[in-house]
Amino acid sequence: MVIRPALRPRRQGTAAVEFAVVLIFVMPLLIGLWEVGRLVEVEQLLNNAVREGARQASTGNTNTAGVQAVVVNYLAANGITATASNVTVTNKTSSARPDPTGANQMDQFHVSVQIPFNSVRWILLNQITSVQNLTASTDFYSMRDTPLTVNANIPVQ
């Protein structure tokens, strides 16, 4: 005599229903993580761009337009659209010398960039984050050398 195991009721579609229920809670979490990840990524790129612009300007060899171009080009190389009007370079020590090429040694400059978050966001849901603009800034001191004057007359003894 052959003993058959008791028949279990069929559960077709149970996994699909469970997946649909879990997906309702997991999907907004994943979308939020994705959007916050993009926000952090772009903020880091903005910080790197202004730091690179400040590094170039600290030598005293790059003017304001050149600093703006360095920042814009850095962002463009990383897929972020910005214009020179998004980048500001100000001399905090003396407003009479706004250009890094005319700065005195140890003049404090401030470089900042601001872009709208809507231009870099991946998801068009405003409910996830209320951030409107992303801003990064850095301060640096001009390392321009003090001009050296040499007396052309050699003293004769």
Task: Give 143's Cβ-side CA count (13 Å radius).
Answer: 8
Question: Distance (Å, rounded) from C-alpha 134 to C-alpha 114?
Answer: 6
Mean pLDDT of 144-150: 76
- Report which of residues 67 and 148 the model is more confident about: 67
Question: What length is written for the chain?
Answer: 157
What angle in degrees, to the nearest 10, is found between the helix axes of 14-58 and 64-77? 160
Q: Where are the domains positioned within the chain?
A: 29-141
Q: What is the pLDDT of residue 135?
A: 92
Does the structure show a pLDDT above 80 at 82? yes
Question: Distance (Å, rounded) from C-alpha 126 to C-alpha 85?
Answer: 26
Mean pLDDT of 91-97: 88
pLDDT tens digit string along 117-140? 888 877 766 666 677 889 999 999
Question: Distance (Å, rounded) from C-alpha 87 to C-alpha 69?
Answer: 9
Q: Both tokens of residue 137? A: 């800034």
pLDDT tens digit string along 46-79? 999 999 999 998 888 889 999 999 999 999 999 9
